[in-house]
Structure 1
């Protein structure tokens, strides 16, 4: 029986490779992001999401050695597919080809193409017998990447300073307008990883000045990680992140939340420790981490001491003596002006944490305990505001949690409950299930107290942080056949205490539906509609109103999208999107129309787009994900009236060297100035140019 399957699949493999060109070592980020993030918005940490996606891509899952937890972490397979995968392996043994996946119930070609970048059947475990230095020096997955980009127009911050009436000069940026970024990495999946990332933002000065803690590039991240060293599952030094449970304590992995994928993204996976390779200057540990495995139990220890940018001020205590306190942490990572430089590395953050996790023999039950103790070099004392009186204060915080995950056939139950030093609780419990071969269902309930404090959490929530929120989410996905797909979610949430821009307890809801039609391999059409209802202060839009009066703002977004592959080399993409916002009996609107033309000729690729947009105000800004150079992202907020276009070119010079170049421009027809403050551009256009190269060693 097995031999018959192999014969059939060899023929099928040959047919697939000739019917459609697909590159195993590349990923269509645009399509994946648009499926996971149904509506792009500016409060998402896309850089961290991209880094999480990069980690999954560079560390593919070995299909013959994987477990359900790993397969859930890529947010592509539903419960029925995961259960079918392991039932198939139980009946027929290990897979012999990636394309053998099509023989598994629930796996179609579209699903297989989605997961190919994140899985492998290649087993290079024999290299582990070689000395570490030899493995590192011969590793094929080694590269150096350099990127330079800048806005071609001159911002006010780069102009000569003005002289004020008191004789002082106005503030200006100290550095040049170039953004420089470089990454070096050598890694072998499940064996080792080492590298560094350096970054200089526009306006930052390239200078060696120990007094201001600036050493050329303004940011340096580095790591060295070993995997599977006997009973040590992970050993890491330098910068790293952690994810265990549902993200209440440790939530730094690739996480999505609400999107057009309404089922798989509600759950977080316990992926453990992973290197940090991004350029964001917060949200990671710097020190040592280790995971020790004994039978069914894994124990992880984290020790970290990292500098943080912060505003440290002197205040008088009860004895009228000066005491230094932290009034805020600066998360921008920018050091362009003397004020921003004064914030650099003013705070020391120490972390000591751990995790103990039990997984039963058949991998269906997972239980875990998280703990994290955080201490700052000074007391944290915020500038008092009516909305932040329950936020964290003091020099230290500790948080503990219990979590579980249980798989029963096509049903996945999961949850986590945590308590912080303040006594505030945070809890998440959910269900992800396949009710049949063609229909999936998900549900998630969460509750975060107003005084629940977690610094490295990233749980499912409506807010950007899991605090001051209660809600329930319901998701459904129906696939009557391979051509049609309908997904929908509804999320009801409450904010029991006041928050920024909402000075009274409030509530709201959000729902989204997407209908997808794929008449052929070359054509994809989808319609999407979303409604969001949230309250906020009326006084922001009308003068002489009470700060505590709220109005429920309702926003409707719609998208119509067509992707068409003309032939093996050319493809087009057309999109119409718009919005309508109703707040305090005032209705505003906005829309954008875009057209893409893409060419792919193996060694070189060109992607182009033209967008026309018009919005009444900022509430109707339109977001469209754009293609960019490798491992960079662009999601501009289009507001006002105008047009935007870009051209992206990629050329593979040789097996080792690939170069990218991108030119983008936004032209406004309703203004003669762009931006504000030191970011102001005189004129109605903004142009950005990007150049990037990647050199791959041992190719």
Structure 2
């Protein structure tokens, strides 16, 4: 039977190869992938960490001959019915003999296969040959990247300091405008991973000064992880993250939330420990972690002792004894001025965590427990405001949760409930299903108390953190054939307690719909509408009366129309029209952006160009458009005001080992003569940035 199937597959390969002749396994159309997952970009999303998580999946592809439903669901590409079809096909016919065999699986179409290809392999990557030292030295997934980028106009922070009335000098940046970044990585999927990341932000000094905890590059991250060492599934030393359950306790990783992919992104997958390789200077653990496999149970233990930036102040207790307290933690990672340098590594954060994960023999049921204990070096006593009195205060926090995931036919049920030291609870309960091979449905309910404290949580939510929120989400995806797709979601949420700039309990809703038409792989056309209603403070009332406790419901509409067209195997264009309106307190404002891309790909060298015209009446109508950048650098500028932006990105493969990127971008405003404020202020109406990057790949 397998032989007959293989003959049939070979007959399909020719048609598949004719369309895939420009596809290269070592790349991904990240722009289209991001556009579909994120839908409409927002400022409160940590896209850099999401992007880095996507990189981890890309660099550690899934072995289709040794995977499970949980792994397949973690990349947000396959629907429930497609996951079940794949598992059933492999159970019936055995291991896949070719990647092209995916075409023979029921409910798989070419569009899905093309999305899946960058994230999967067939070879037995779990098989280890030779000593660890030899495998490290000979690994073909070994590279070093070095990048330099800067803004060329002079910001106020780089000008000579002014003299104050008391004879002191105003604050200025101590370093130069260049941003320097390096990443070294050697790995083999499901075997080992080691590497480091170094980073110096613009304005930071390149200096060796142990007193201020600066050692050349301002940030240094490192890791060494081993996989499948006997009963140990993983052992990690250095910087790492964890993702288990629905992200209430351990929520690192690729958690997208609301986007144009309305079904698969509502659920988090348990992927356990993963190395941390981003340049963000927060949101990771530093220490030891290990996962031990005991039959159907995986037990993970972790210990972390990481430095954290913070504002430390001295207070007097009742006995007039001086005591250090933390008034705020700094997450920017910037150390450009004397004040910012003073925040660097001022406190320590210790974490002890555990996860127990059970998976049934049929792999249709998962149950797990999470625990995390966190201790700061000083008491956390933030400046009390009316809206933050239920936030975390103190020195210690502990958090515990129970989660499950159950697969019944084409229905995936999942949930997690957690409680923190304060007694505050957080819960997520959801389902995603293929009601029909052409119709997908998802629903998710969540409830986070106003005193639920989770420092590493990344659960599905409207806010940036799982706290002070109740909500319910519905998603639909209808695909009558390979050409048409209709996606829709509706999300209702309310905030029982006050929030920043919302000094009363409030509620809101959001919905998005996208119609996609793709008659061939050369053409992608979509139209998208998004509406969001959310309350916030009214700063000005009639008769010049001001009150921070009066709310008004702000309504924002976003519209997008997009056309991607591949002229031939080398040339492609992308056209987009975006617009928005914002109605708040009786005043309606508008904004729009029109962009045109031209891309050229000749294998050894590539060029990508774009020009954008934009006009927005206020900050609430700023336009977000994902831009192509050098490898693994994420860029979504917020276009605000009136003007034009353009960029050109070039890539040249000098040799099999060496690749060079260069990017030039410029924004010209027609409605101002000063850009930015404070030390970021630029005198003029234009801002220009360049990026240069080299990648050296070993053993190529």
- TM-score norm. by structure 2 comes to 0.99
CA distance in 2, matches of 1:325, 1:391: 16
CA-to-partner distance for each residue in 1:359-404, whole Å, 9 max, x for gaps? Answer: 0001000000000000001000011100000000000000000000
Equivalent position of 2:520 in the other structure: 520
Which SS does the other structure have where 1:435 is aligned? strand
The alpha-carbon distance between structure 1 residues 541 and 510, as it changes in their structure 2 partners (threshold 3 A), is farther
Equivalent position of 1:475 in the other structure: 475
CA distance in 2, matches of 1:124, 1:287: 27
CA distance in 2, matches of 1:333, 1:93: 49
1:634: Cα distance to partner? 0.7
Matched, 1:111 2:116: no
CA distance in 1, matches of 2:166, 2:531: 52
Equivalent position of 2:598 in the other structure: 597
CA-to-partner distance for each residue in 1:262-309, whole Å, 9 max, x for gaps? Answer: 000000000000000000000000000000001100000010000000
1:166: Cα distance to partner? 2.1
Equivalent position of 1:185 in the other structure: 185
Matched, 1:229 2:214: no
CA distance in 1, matches of 2:18, 2:591: 44
CA distance in 1, matches of 2:27, 2:374: 39
CA distance in 2, matches of 1:427, 1:285: 24
1:35: Cα distance to partner? 0.2
Equivalent position of 2:635 in the other structure: 634
Equivalent position of 2:359 in the other structure: 359
1:24: Cα distance to partner? 1.0
Equivalent position of 2:319 in the other structure: 319
1:122: Cα distance to partner? 1.5
Equivalent position of 1:572 in the other structure: 573
Equivalent position of 2:698 in the other structure: 697
Matched, 1:259 2:253: no
1:16: Cα distance to partner? 2.0
1:576: Cα distance to partner? 0.3
Equivalent position of 2:88 in the other structure: 87
Equivalent position of 1:581 in the other structure: 582
Matched, 1:684 2:685: yes
CA distance in 1, matches of 2:292, 2:125: 23
CA distance in 2, matches of 1:261, 1:613: 27
CA distance in 2, matches of 1:408, 1:177: 56
CA-to-partner distance for each residue in 1:391-425, whole Å, 9 max, x for gaps? Answer: 00000000000000000010000000000000000
Contact 2:630 2:663 in 1 (8 A): yes
The alpha-carbon distance between structure 1 residues 540 and 649, as it changes in their structure 2 partners (threshold 3 A), is farther
CA distance in 1, matches of 2:188, 2:471: 41
CA root-mean-square deviation: 0.9
CA distance in 2, matches of 1:590, 1:598: 27
CA-to-partner distance for each residue in 1:416-447, whole Å, 9 max, x for gaps? Answer: 00000000000000000000110000000000
The alpha-carbon distance between structure 1 residues 432 and 124, as it changes in their structure 2 partners (threshold 3 A), is closer
Pairing of 1:386-425 with structure 2 (within 5 A): 386-425=386-425
Equivalent position of 2:9 in the other structure: 9
CA distance in 1, matches of 2:200, 2:292: 37
Pairing of 1:240-279 with structure 2 (within 5 A): 240-279=240-279
1:18: Cα distance to partner? 2.7
CA distance in 1, matches of 2:358, 2:248: 18
Matched, 1:64 2:65: yes
Which SS does the other structure have where 2:422 is aligned? coil
Which SS does the other structure have where 2:65 is aligned? coil
Contact 2:222 2:239 in 1 (8 A): yes
CA-to-partner distance for each residue in 1:126-179, whole Å, 9 max, x for gaps? Answer: 4x2411101100001000000000001110001111112222111100000000
Equivalent position of 2:334 in the other structure: 334
CA distance in 2, matches of 1:593, 1:103: 41
The alpha-carbon distance between structure 1 residues 590 and 246, as it changes in their structure 2 partners (threshold 3 A), is same
Moved over 6 A (4+): none
Matched, 1:195 2:192: no
Equivalent position of 1:344 in the other structure: 344
1:11: Cα distance to partner? 3.1
1:540: Cα distance to partner? 6.4
Alignment gaps of 5+ in structure 2? none
CA distance in 2, matches of 1:2, 1:39: 45
1:71: Cα distance to partner? 0.3
CA distance in 2, matches of 1:521, 1:238: 43
CA distance in 2, matches of 1:93, 1:109: 22
CA distance in 1, matches of 2:224, 2:521: 43
CA distance in 1, matches of 2:97, 2:129: 24
The worse-fitting range, judged by mean Cα deviation, of 108-117 and 13-22 is 13-22
Equivalent position of 1:135 in the other structure: 135
1:124: Cα distance to partner? 4.2
CA distance in 2, matches of 1:297, 1:541: 60
CA distance in 2, matches of 1:347, 1:168: 29
1:563: Cα distance to partner? 0.5
Matched, 1:438 2:442: no
Alignment gaps of 5+ in structure 1? none
Which SS does the other structure have where 1:539 is aligned? coil
CA distance in 2, matches of 1:544, 1:98: 68
Which SS does the other structure have where 1:429 is aligned? strand
CA distance in 2, matches of 1:125, 1:378: 44
